[in-house]
Structure 1
Amino acid sequence: MTFYTISYLSNHQHMNQLFNYIAILIFAILIGVMVLLYLRHRLITRYRDLGIIFFLLLLLFIGFQVTDMEKSTTQQSQTTQMIPFIKAVARDHNVSPQKVVVNSTTLTDGILVRIEDRDYRVNLSQTGDNYTLTRAHVVNHKVNLMK
């Protein structure tokens, strides 16, 4: 079972975005090189063909980046709901927010909250503005803590 700390939720970065930015930059440079080579040697059409291939790959990675940005925006908005929840649980139980860990990155009904080796199940209201914690007992006590 994986639990997440408040520092993980507030600092989590996506490496896919970095990879996509690097790939987009490389393909843009390769397109520029192919255009220059094609303009220099107009009779050799392989440069034009390679330029078209690199352009299509560039469009593909731009599409990946747009999809990742949309998914990241949705996930970030859901994660920003979780941070005030963790702070509220910590304040209600008189512990520091670093001692509260959750098993989900999004605030939904039924997630588990671990407060100093005790597990609780979260029951959210319909509107999501209040919650109740009921004591829970997990079957698998092996925990992977994401800091």
Structure 2
Amino acid sequence: MIFYTYDYLHTSQNTWQYARIVITCVLVLAFLLFLIQYWRHRFDIKYKDLSIIFGTLLLLILGMQYNDFSNIQNSIKQSGQMTTVVKEIAKQLRVSKQSISVNSTTPNDNVLVKTPKGFFRVDYNTDGSQFVLEQVILHDSDAVKVEGEK
């Protein structure tokens, strides 16, 4: 079973989105560079072909980003909700949020929490606005792997 630390949840929210932005910016700059070169040297066809290639790649990347935009927004929102839950759990148990790990990056009905005080299950109410911690005992606590632990 894999658990995720607060720091892992907090930092993993933006890593892939920044990479996509960098790739898109590089493609836009390359496209503009070759387009300007084509305008300067109208009889040199290689700049026209390179402009078309980079323009097509740019449209493809932008189309994929538009398609994944709602999924990315949902995952960022849910990871943010989990970090808020971890903060609340730390406050309730009077431990530091860095010492808490959860087994899910999204809030759901089967969230387990690993703390210095033991393992807990998070039970949400019907609308998901409040939760209750219930202490549980894992039969195989040696199989727990913590992602993002220092």
Is TM-score (shorter-chain normalized) higher than 0.5? yes
Matches within 5 A, 1:101-140: 101-116=101-116, 118-128=118-128, 129-139=130-140
Unaligned runs of 5+ in 2: none
Q: TM-score, normalised by structure 1?
A: 0.79
Contact 1:111/1:121 (8 A) holds in 2: yes
- Provide the identity percentage: 30
Corresponding position of 1:47: 47
Letter in 2 for 1:63: G
Q: Structure 2 vs 1, CA of residues 100 and 20 (structure 1 numbering), >3 Å: closer, same or farther?
A: closer
Q: CA shift at 1:99, angstroms?
A: 2.2
The one-letter amino acid of 1:31's match is F
**Equivalenced residues, count:** 147
8 Å contact 1:37–1:47 — kept in the other structure? yes
Change (3 A) 1:60 1:118: same
Stretches of structure 1 that go unaligned for 5 or more consecutive residues are none
Contact residue 101 and residue 146 of structure 2 kept, 8 A? no
CA RMSD in angstroms, aligned pairs only: 2.5
Superposition deviation, residue 54 in structure 1 = 0.7
TM-score by structure 2 length? Answer: 0.78
Say which is worse superposed, 49-58 or 68-77, in terms of deviation.
68-77
Matched AA of 1:72: I
